[in-house]
Structure 1
Amino acid sequence: MFTEERLEQILNILNKNGRVKVKELSELFNVSESMIRKDLQRLEAEGAIQRTYGGAILNRRFSESIPIDTRIKANLDTKELIAEKAFALIMDGDVVFLESSSINFFLAKLIANSTKQITLITNMSIIPPLFNNNETVKLLCIGGIYDNKSGGVLGSEVIKSISKYIFNKGFVGSAGVNLITNSAHTVTLEDGNVKELIISNSKEVFLLVEKEKFDVDSTYRFADLEEFSAIITDSDITNEIRYKLKKLSVKLI
């Protein structure tokens, strides 16, 4: 086997399992452990992996806490596309929850400029002003402690308020999605608690996420991917992502 073929197979194993061990790879490819270490050194130099004691893991980015006013200015075309897909799912009579995510801001703008007759509940403080001229949406604003990074209100009062409602459809964002552990992540425990409750209290719940987030991890794991009714993302995601989500029986929109 040529070196390039072995490197490709090592990456395939990493994408499937999340980590590899030098000894196991040596036995699998019938080469010396020193040869495997050289392979891993090369992959690390290319930025594909991170070597660990006795093996390696995928080199995944770790999300940072970025203020909402910065996030809503990034990847506008992508976020607007995802918001349009989500908007198409909302029907008259729905009770909808939009938690504090940048894509949900664009989804709220679409709702505000439409004539859909729904009840909209949100903990995102920059959403209510969008509805100053809307006559068809009943808007309920959840109160709590404002967090300027997430753009929403968080804390025990928020949890207490949200727990009183049942939603037809809930829409949540994520700081990162890991297809090895099949989980969605966010930066803080407080934000994760809100997301968990929305998932629990929604008849249908949708994860709105850009394709770049599939290569990112974050601090708090708030859901398994199987908990979502569907994941709404870019139209041009890789076949590898499509395949992994299909294996999980997670609907992709």
Structure 2
Amino acid sequence: MSLTFEDRRMTILNQLELEGKVQVHHLSELLGVSTETVRRDLDRLEKEGKLRKVYGGAVKMRFELVEPPFLKRTQMMRTEKASIGKLAASLVEDGETIMVDTGTTTIEILPYLRDRSNLTLITHSVPVLNLAMETFRGTIIFAGGEVNPDYQAATGSLTDQMLDQFKVNKAFISVGGISLVDGITDYHVAEATISRKMMQRAEESIVVADHSKFGLSTFSRISRLEEISMLITDAGCSKEWVDKMEALGIEMRISE
């Protein structure tokens, strides 16, 4: 029995979610239909605003070409970010030194470390620093440098050089997007550079990201997926993504 358009539609959009792009000939084989049928389906989905056709296939629509301001992002996915932060904090053991990059998900780790005095926190994030000074009882090291008001973080060569002085147990990394093709990415080159440095200086690199980041590719690459030690996300993450990550050898943790 041939598949209906709705069946094909679901398969095409699922492939797009996982891969970020689809090819006509691959879809033709996968769906058991002609390439002409696939092209008509892609035409229809483009009119629905679900994808953008390119030569030989289609790519995922990118609605967020520019990252929203920090304060606006703090209001997005608040429940999911809090649950991710709680789970991430539970992985930090007494006596450890951790790096926390700038982001509205990584900052959610701090409230769950407030009674942990036998820890050292290294960050370049001004919001993380401010919250840590109010609530954190351990040692705080600010990796200073040129502070960018838009990123609300120190970036540049001075920050990079300072981070080079440390070797830590865990680095908690926020991202703009997670893609099977492009790996983990951020919107800004300067932020991606610092996140990459933190990963290099840590025994474990732990990405914290809510489910909306999956299938997205943003401007600047932080690393390949295979370079991640663990990925923590929320229950909205699809089983397909969990399976893909585990197939790459990446440990997945799902927050409640």
Q: TM-score w.r.t. structure 1 length?
A: 0.88
Distance in 2 separating the partners of 1:146 and 1:104: 18
Deviates more, 1:13-22 or 1:123-132: 13-22
Question: What per-residue deviation string (whole Å, max 9, x for no partner) do you get for residues 141-166 of structure 1?
Answer: 11111122322110110001001111
Distance in 2 separating the partners of 1:229 and 1:170: 10
- Deviation, 1:102, is 1.1
Q: Match of 2:244, as an amino acid?
A: K
Q: Aligned residue for 2:177?
A: 176
Q: Secondary structure at the match of 2:170?
A: strand
* C-alpha distance 210-26 of structure 1, shift in aligned 2 (>3 A): closer
- Deviation, 1:73, is 2.6
Distance in 2 separating the partners of 1:248 and 1:16: 14
Whether 2:121 is the aligned partner of 1:120: answer yes
| Residue segments in structure 2 that go unaligned for 5+ positions in a row | none
Q: Aligned residue for 2:54?
A: 52
Larger radius of gyration: 1
- Among the aligned pairs, what percent are the same residue? 25
Q: Aligned residue for 1:199?
A: 199
Q: How does 1:242-253 map to 2 (within 5 A)?
A: 242-253=242-253
Q: Aligned residue for 2:148?
A: 147
| Residues 107 and 128 in structure 2, CA contact (< 8 A), matched pair in contact too | yes
* C-alpha distance 118-38 of structure 1, shift in aligned 2 (>3 A): same
Q: Secondary structure at the match of 2:130?
A: helix
Q: Secondary structure at the match of 2:251?
A: coil
| Residue segments in structure 1 that go unaligned for 5+ positions in a row | none
* C-alpha distance 186-114 of structure 1, shift in aligned 2 (>3 A): same
* C-alpha distance 38-118 of structure 1, shift in aligned 2 (>3 A): same
Q: Match of 1:148, as an amino acid?
A: P
Distance in 2 separating the partners of 1:25 and 1:126: 45
Q: TM-score w.r.t. structure 2 length?
A: 0.87
* Cα RMSD for the two superposed structures: 2.3
Q: Match of 1:96, as an amino acid?
A: I
Distance in 2 separating the partners of 1:69 and 1:25: 41
Distance in 1 separating the partners of 2:142 and 2:108: 17
Distance in 1 separating the partners of 2:131 and 2:29: 61
Question: What per-residue deviation string (whole Å, max 9, x for no partner) do you get for residues 93-134 of structure 1?
Answer: 1011111111222212322x2134111111011223334465
1:31 paired residue among 17, 31, 34? 34
Q: Secondary structure at the match of 2:34?
A: coil
Q: Match of 1:170, as an amino acid?
A: A
| Residues 63 and 176 in structure 1, CA contact (< 8 A), matched pair in contact too | no
- Deviation, 1:66, is 2.4
| Residues 145 and 154 in structure 2, CA contact (< 8 A), matched pair in contact too | yes
| Residues 170 and 203 in structure 2, CA contact (< 8 A), matched pair in contact too | yes
Q: Aligned residue for 2:217?
A: 217
* C-alpha distance 95-63 of structure 1, shift in aligned 2 (>3 A): farther
- Deviation, 1:59, is 2.9
| Residues 165 and 201 in structure 1, CA contact (< 8 A), matched pair in contact too | yes
* C-alpha distance 2-131 of structure 1, shift in aligned 2 (>3 A): closer
Distance in 1 separating the partners of 2:81 and 2:222: 22
